[in-house]
Amino acid sequence: MPARGRGSTWQMTPRAFRRTTGWATVAVAFVLAALTAQAWDTNPRQAVVTAVVDGDTIRIDDGGRRTTVRLIGVDTPELGDRQHPSAPPQPFARQASDFTRRMLTAQRVRLEFEAGDRVDRYGRMLAYVFLADGTFFNRELLRRGLARAYTRYPFRYRDEFRADEATARHEHRGLWAQAALSRAGPVIGNRLSHIYHLPGQAHYGDVAERNRVYFESEAAAREAGFEPARR
């Protein structure tokens, strides 16, 4: 039979046992919180851009580790489609990608982060990118009409990004110059998902008639609060 000496749990009252295990739980939670805070540190950091994937995605040397970075709050036209690899690049995708490559390749940049999640569902780091001269690159894409503001989720600069896109649309810069040209049909929005489809896209005709909202232009759809379809 086990000994029941002083200090053995056999001598503990239920209340004392609960108090001891409760403190242990608190201690473990504190350590986990500290580790999490360290892992998700939101302080700015310096990095060198080693490659450009497309207009809104880059790769950096992050202290000897290669990391893919997705720019927060902007969405440039897609160079390729994962579901349809043979699909051609979206209009202005190459211009956006070339601009990002020209501006960022081999440059030392400053990365800033939101206080929330720092990684998206594809494992990419989410960041704002600043050049050495202070240029806020995320906003520069919007100002030149090379990206749309991706505002489905809240973030620190959402109002500024929306204003930058509105100005580029109004002045027909970049992809908005092309959007101003006549199309083969109207822009179709889905009133349930608030996603719009452009003529020629794969799912342009898939929206149920009862859920359709028609717009004369992509700019009109954006102004109504609709987001672009990925393909």
Beta-carbon contacts of residue 83 (< 8 Å; ≥ 6 apart): 231
Instruction: Determine whether 230 is an active site residue.
Output: no
Beta bridge partners of 57: 54, 70
Backbone φ, ψ for residue 153 (5° rounding): -115, 150
105: Cα within 13 Å, side-chain hemisphere: 11
Give CA angle at 118 (139, 165), nearest 5°. 20
Give the chain's end-to-end CA distance (angstroms, integer).
71
Alpha helices in the chain (DSSP H): 14-39, 93-104, 137-143, 158-170, 175-179, 218-223
Pick the catalytic residue from 19, 108, 112, 124.
124
Return d(Cα 165, Cα 176) in angstroms, integer.
9
Instruction: Determine whether 124 is an active site residue.
Output: yes
Pick the catalytic residue from 19, 70, 140, 173.
70
Instruction: Answer yes or no: are the C-beta atoms of 188 and 211 closer than 8 Å.
Output: no
Instruction: Determine whether 101 is an active site residue.
Output: no
Distances (CA, A) of 57 to 77, 226, 229: 11, 23, 18
Pick the catalytic residue from 4, 18, 78, 218.
78
Q: Which residues does the annotation mark as catalytic?
A: 70, 78, 124
